[in-house]
Amino acid sequence: MKEEKQKPDYVLLTSVVLLLLIGLLILSFAAFNISKENFGDPYWYLRHQLMFGILPGAILGLIAFFLPCQFWKKISLPLFIFSLFLLFLVFFPKIGIGYKGATRWLSLGILSLQPSEIVKLSFIIYLGAWLKKKKR
């Protein structure tokens, strides 16, 4: 049975865009003076959030939207196990980064990663696939 093309949920999409815009507006007002003092640019934090937060998130979100649901069902368990493995790596010296007494980040050279965020997403994908299987 062929899956029909999904249409985006426009209410959800509108809600996400509005929340993003409100968050960016609040960030620009709250960080204006701090950004100007630290970097000489009053919109440095806003620009940083756009370039390294919203832009990559939007690109990855579009890619995820266009991938078929069968793909997500197929990789849900391996993705969840891999994310739990990343969570476990936090406890290894030189890989896990400690900050203020808590080790929550992984050092990947020029990039640092918080595996708990990946676990949240992979658990949602896995739970969706598992519940779909149980529905039958």
Q: What pLDDT sits at residue 2?
A: 58
Average pLDDT, the chain: 89
Do both 61 and 79 map to the same domain? no
Q: How far apart are CA 126 and CA 117, in angstroms?
A: 14
Q: What is the pLDDT of residues 93-131, one digit of tens each?
A: 878 888 777 788 888 878 788 999 999 999 999 999 999
End-to-end CA distance of the chain: 16
Q: What pLDDT sits at residue 3?
A: 58
Q: How far apart are CA 10 and CA 23, in angstroms?
A: 20
- Neighbour-count burial for 87-111, b at 16+ CB within 10 Å, e otherwise: beebeeeeebeeeeeeebbbeeeee
Average pLDDT over residues 19-23: 95
Do both 3 and 51 map to the same domain? yes
Q: 34 with 45: CB under 8 angstroms?
A: yes
Lowest mean pLDDT among 27-41, 81-95, 102-116: 102-116
Last-in-domain residue among 35, 66, 97: 66
Do both 76 and 129 map to the same domain? yes
Among positive and negative, which fits the CA dihedral 122, 125, 131, 132? negative
Lowest mean pLDDT among 31-40, 83-92, 97-106: 97-106
pTM attached to this predicted model: 0.73
pLDDT tops 90 at residue 85: yes
Residues of the domain holding 127: 68-136
